[in-house]
Amino acid sequence: MRLGLRLFLGFFLIVGLAAFFVMRVFVDEVKPGVRQAMESTLVDTANVLAAMAADDLKAGRIAEGRFAGDLARVRDRDPEATIWRFPKRSIDYRVTVTDARGIVVFDSEGRDLGRDNSRWNDVYRTLRGEYGARSSPESPGSERTVMHVAAPVFDPEAPGTLIGVLTVAKPNRTLEPFIEASQRSILGKGAWLIGLSALVGLLMTWWLARRIGRLNRYAQAVAAGQPVAPPPRRRDEIGDLARALEDMRRKLEGKAYVEQYVQSLTHEMKSPLAAIRGAAELLQEPLPEAERRRFAANIQAQQQRLTETIDKLLALAEVEQHGWLQRREALDLSALLRQLAASVEPQLAAARLQLRVEGADSPLVVRGDPFLVRQALANLVDNAIAFSPAGGSILLGISVAEGRVRATVRDAGPGVPDYALGRVFERFYSLARPDGGGRSSGLGLPFVREVARLHGGEAWLGNRDGGGAEAGLSLPLA
């Protein structure tokens, strides 16, 4: 079982069980809670009616007095009320009054007159100065019950003297619709709670699995030796692990890269150093002035070659070691091409070349490092200048195709030999200049390829139809 599924099941199980038990508690508490609220209301009602019945009970006219008449009229009323979506069309109270012995002297339904209720808990306790209440079946054998709440009836002329008990009864079935509706509401909202918990668990699991998966892919890419950016830095345990892996990768790759770097640099320095050593040995001997100047110029040329090789190798090492783009901002490639064309005018004049820029009239924005992109394009233009014949022209163009900006450099030189087409992007691989000049460091095109990779693009070099070469850099359009 995958880690993400385990996390989801564990989260859902914990939250689901907690929500289930909480719902059960709420559901089980609805019925007693509603009945307790009804009992509280009945207490108020019984005490109000007991005070209203005191005069008639004292005068012995409780069955035909004003109190009985008022209750009769109340029973005939239609409340026309709607309580929580349930209509209420009748008065559900039943009122009984007993004398000080517990004998029923008034019944709003006229059923139990003369019955001895002193044995019932509501009347029994009230007669003894206590709170009296009970729940009894509506009829013998019935599962439905009626709640009875009693209040003492005191002598209006002698407060504190008990002359009877008034009981208010209300069937519990009148509360069942509200209880069932409350339970349904709780269960429905509980289902929503469980559903939302599942959704939150799913999102949390997706988030964790995504981050762990990204870290896993990064670790596998590092193990395979592929240059890849580390996961985004986060201030948590996964972020700490990502930083630890990145530090380990840097140390391991740094050691291997230094070994390769030193080997490459040593290999490339052998030839210039040998030329410098040979010229220096010859200069120790008496030589004609012309020969001395030639050997001194050779030493200077080889020194310049060494300096250029070291500088370009350092620049290439910089972009290769990053593995990902350190700086990313909006960059107008059209404006960059125009600036580049203006900056190489002295070189063009010295080489008697012309440079034309096409397609750079409107802004074409990419996201990347302006310095690296400019250096990459400058390397392509430098190569075109070096391989173009005197009096020729160079075309610097820019276009958009399939969501990418393509910057191309076309020259009218001899082109690239077939045997070299597959190797031009290898480090230190270079071709002789058409004018017989020395070879370059062979590091410019590898630098361009690394810059393209860092920006999610590509670089190419090939031959044009009709002669000459075309080099280019393609970057994603912002």
- DSSP letters, 172-216, are GGGGHHHHHHHHHHHHHHHHHHHHHHHHHHHHHHHHHHHHHHHHH
Most confident range, picked from 24-28, 381-385, 434-438: 381-385
pLDDT for 226 equals 65
Strand partners, 134: 148
Domains 3-180 and 325-478 share a fold: no
DSSP state of 233: P
Is the domain 227-323 a CATH 1.10.287.130 member?
yes
Q: Which residue would you say has higher pLDDT here, 258 or 105? A: 105
Identify the weakest region by mean pLDDT among 51-60, 167-176, 273-282, 306-315. 306-315
Average pLDDT over residues 36-46: 90
Percent of the chain predicted with pLDDT > 90: 22
pLDDT confidence band for 126 (50 / 70 / 90): very high
| Spatial distance between the Cα atoms of 168 and 43, rounded to a whole number of angstroms | 8
Domain boundaries, the chain: 3-180, 227-323, 325-478
Q: Which residue would you say has higher pLDDT here, 169 or 21? A: 169
- DSSP letters, 78-110, are ---EEETTEEE-S---EEEEEETTSBEEEETTS
204-219 residue pLDDT tens: 777 777 777 777 777 7
Which candidate, 289, 367, 285, places its Cα nearest to that of 328?
A: 367
Token pair belonging to 258: 């230094």
Strand order in the sheet with 158-171: 104-107, 94-99, 158-171, 145-155, 133-137
What is the end-to-end Cα distance of the chain in Å, rounded?
41
pLDDT for 228 equals 65
Most confident range, picked from 220-229, 431-440, 446-455: 446-455
Q: Which residue would you say has higher pLDDT here, 348 or 3? A: 348
Q: Which residue would you say has higher pLDDT here, 383 or 85? A: 383
The domain made up of 3-180 has a fold known as Beta-Lactamase (3.30.450)
- Whether 21 shows a pLDDT value over 60: the answer reads yes
DSSP state of 418: G
Q: Is the pTM of this model over 0.85?
A: no
| Spatial distance between the Cα atoms of 215 and 34, rounded to a whole number of angstroms | 55
Q: Largest Cα–Cα distance of the chain, in whole Å?
A: 156
The domain made up of 325-478 has a fold known as Heat Shock Protein 90 (3.30.565)
| Spatial distance between the Cα atoms of 333 and 406, rounded to a whole number of angstroms | 9
Token pair belonging to 389: 């014949």
The amino acid present at 332, given as its one-letter code, is D
Evaluate whether 79 touches 89 at the Cβ level (below 8 Å): yes
| Spatial distance between the Cα atoms of 171 and 151, rounded to a whole number of angstroms | 18
* Cα atoms in the Cβ-side hemisphere of radius 13 Å centred on 112: 15
pLDDT for 58 equals 92
pLDDT for 257 equals 46
Which candidate, 412, 406, 414, 446, places its Cα nearest to that of 428?
A: 446
| Spatial distance between the Cα atoms of 299 and 297, rounded to a whole number of angstroms | 5
130-159 residue pLDDT tens: 999 998 888 887 778 899 999 999 999 888
- Whether 172 shows a pLDDT value over 70: the answer reads yes
* Cα atoms in the Cβ-side hemisphere of radius 13 Å centred on 298: 19
Average pLDDT over residues 236-248: 70
User: Which H or E element spans position 146?
Assistant: strand 145-155
pLDDT for 256 equals 47
- Whether 79 shows a pLDDT value over 90: the answer reads no
Average pLDDT, the chain: 80
The amino acid present at 235, given as its one-letter code, is R
261-283 residue pLDDT tens: 555 555 456 556 666 777 677 77
- Residue 225 three-state SS: coil
Neighbours of 317 (CB within 10 A): 19
